Structure 1
Amino acid sequence: MIFGTADFFGGLATRRSKVLAVVVLSQLGGLLLVAALLPLLPGHASTAALAWGMASGVAGAFGIVLFYRGLATGMMSVIAPTTATTAMAVPVVFGLLTGDRPSALALAGVALGLFAVLLVSREPNGGANGPKAGPILAALVSGAGFGGFFVLLKLAPADSGTWPLLGARIASITLVALLALATRRSLRPVPGSLRVTFAAGVLDMAANVLYLFAAQRGMLTLVAVLVSLYPASTLLLARYVLGERLSPVQITGVGFALGAIALIAAA
């Protein structure tokens, strides 16, 4: 649930400030946290650990930029489960391609998740004006980025500890900063957004640390899917803090998305 809380704070920050500024500053907060944890947690530095971490950081950077953009322009309670469903599907597909044979229950969960995306992306007015393609597309692509992030971190040596996350943050901060420079976007935060931005980054890194240790000790498909339960906390915060309301069809879709994750986790 830490991922979901971090996403909520990141969405709030993006509504107040510019996307690239929020991404860089939040990732900087995460970098400071993982640097502080390196001497305290077990793990061995290696070229492979940093390389896989940097590769995951590239995927994660694209994911987080699009995700925060989606949160800023769409409803959090729609974007979060849509992203999570896609992020959940990528490790499952990767497992299939590398020889895993998920059970019928897991495959049913993937199918249910895809159906959930169709439902949750409908407009609250019943779809008379059609879905907002921009935020939904951003959510789908960002989910693919997050799924790639999970897979690539899993490929790092099992004894590397949190060193891959150091590489991931260095790569993501560098990439987004270069993108801001190339597009002449300011990285200066809007007054009043700094605290929530850093909170998002610190919480996101804390969740990443927990995920990495779980993935190093368990099955990728199971761990990544369990991580994808995070929209529950995002939805609750969006409902009670922002007052977001969903249509009955969207509520059904959100339920299906969470149900899909539960099916795969139980497989």
Structure 2
Amino acid sequence: MELSVVIFGLISAAFWGAGDFSGGVATKKHEVLSVATIAQIIGLLILSLVALTLGENTPSIENIMWGAAAGISGGIGILALYHALSIEKMGVVAPVTAVSSALVPVVFGMMSEGIPASIQILGFFFALIGVWLISREDSDSAIHLSRLKLPLIAGFGFGFFMILIDQLNGTGILWPLVGARVASISMFLLAGVYKGGMQMPEMKHLPLIILAGICDSGGNVFYTLAAQAGRIDIAAVLSSLYPAATVLLAWIFLRERLTYRQWIGIISAMLAVVLIS
């Protein structure tokens, strides 16, 4: 059972990392709210289609409510993350977001499920250090508090999404995630009305936004599977290794050079996986 948590958690990290890469690139070219809304709509369509194809049973009202609450929390996280990525360097945004999003469910998991094994706690330590090192892009070690606000909001939004989606009862996960998308999209549309409308992105950039929506939905599905298969803190820490995928994609497609510190972070993350599993 623990192996399932590790596998699903790592797949979730890969999807979320690819989604952040796609969404981050898209938000440097277009309005954050429009990118987030389109990506969430794509996710809604995909999740609904898969749920119908697989014939997943209609969820209880309770599960729909948990999914909606998770969607609002995750939606706040996405808006904060995309906005932060559009105005800040990844080296500031990614580590704060990833570490804070992992710490929230880790604390919750320890309070609700007890303290995990010592070797797994050591794995948590290496995972968080790995996330921080992987996400650092430059040698500037100075952190300004004003630059932490959006990444922290994003991290707490994702962290509470992880906790709320873990409250689902039963085996069905797709329809509650559809409920999460409906809630986040509704929130985004209301925000668009409040600010006077949204600007549609250019057609040539839509594939990137669609990819972000697909990857974000995939990450949500596999995180939910991981959380249901075992401890929420293990699932959260492994899923929070997503900056590794983002950095590697930037290295491959944007020709961004990996620093020695990022390579050490990747090694630390791999060691964490071994310890946690």
Q: Which residue of 2 aligns with 1:232?
A: 244
C-alpha change, 1:58 and 1:213, in structure 2 (3 Å) is same
How far the C-alpha of 1:190 sits from its partner, in A, is 3.6
Q: In the alignment, is the contact (CA less than 8 A) between 2:136 and 2:262 conserved in 1?
A: no
C-alpha change, 1:185 and 1:113, in structure 2 (3 Å) is farther
Q: In the alignment, is the contact (CA less than 8 A) between 1:105 and 1:263 conserved in 2?
A: no
Counterpart-to-counterpart distance in 2, 1:189 and 1:264: 44
C-alpha change, 1:44 and 1:264, in structure 2 (3 Å) is farther
Q: In the alignment, is the contact (CA less than 8 A) between 1:66 and 1:139 conserved in 2?
A: yes
State the aligned residue count.
263
1:22 paired to 2:42? no
Correspondence 1:117-196 to 2 at 5 A: 124-127=138-141, 130-131=142-143, 133=145, 136-196=148-208
**TM superposition score normalised by structure 2:** 0.82
Counterpart-to-counterpart distance in 1, 2:189 and 2:29: 19
* Higher mean C-alpha deviation, range 147-156 or range 50-59: 147-156
Correspondence 1:47-66 to 2 at 5 A: 47-66=61-80
Q: In the alignment, is the contact (CA less than 8 A) between 2:135 and 2:262 conserved in 1?
A: no
Richer in helix (by share): 2
- Give ranges in structure 2 of 5+ residues lacking alignment: 1-13
How far the C-alpha of 1:16 sits from its partner, in A, is 1.1
How far the C-alpha of 1:80 sits from its partner, in A, is 3.2
AA at the equivalent of 2:188: V
Residue number among 10, 16, 26 corresponding to 1:13 in the alignment: 26
Counterpart-to-counterpart distance in 1, 2:262 and 2:104: 24
Q: Secondary structure at the match of 1:102?
A: coil
Moved over 6 A (4+): 116-123
AA at the equivalent of 1:36: L
C-alpha change, 1:136 and 1:90, in structure 2 (3 Å) is same
How far the C-alpha of 1:24 sits from its partner, in A, is 0.3
Q: Which residue of 2 aligns with 1:216?
A: 228
AA at the equivalent of 1:35: S
C-alpha change, 1:263 and 1:74, in structure 2 (3 Å) is farther
How far the C-alpha of 1:82 sits from its partner, in A, is 3.6
Give the CA RMSD over aligned residues.
2.9
Q: In the alignment, is the contact (CA less than 8 A) between 1:43 and 1:161 conserved in 2?
A: no
Q: In the alignment, is the contact (CA less than 8 A) between 2:90 and 2:136 conserved in 1?
A: no
Percentage identity across aligned positions? 34
Q: Secondary structure at the match of 2:28?
A: helix
Q: In the alignment, is the contact (CA less than 8 A) between 2:40 and 2:184 conserved in 1?
A: yes
- Give ranges in structure 1 of 5+ residues lacking alignment: none
C-alpha change, 1:253 and 1:66, in structure 2 (3 Å) is farther
Q: Which residue of 2 aligns with 1:258?
A: 269
* Higher mean C-alpha deviation, range 1-10 or range 138-147: 138-147
Q: Which residue of 1 aligns with 2:101?
A: 87
How far the C-alpha of 1:51 sits from its partner, in A, is 0.1
Q: In the alignment, is the contact (CA less than 8 A) between 1:90 and 1:144 conserved in 2?
A: yes
How far the C-alpha of 1:26 sits from its partner, in A, is 0.3
How far the C-alpha of 1:71 sits from its partner, in A, is 2.1
* Higher mean C-alpha deviation, range 197-206 or range 219-228: 219-228
Residue number among 64, 70, 93 corresponding to 2:84 in the alignment: 70
How far the C-alpha of 1:184 sits from its partner, in A, is 2.6
C-alpha change, 1:218 and 1:92, in structure 2 (3 Å) is same
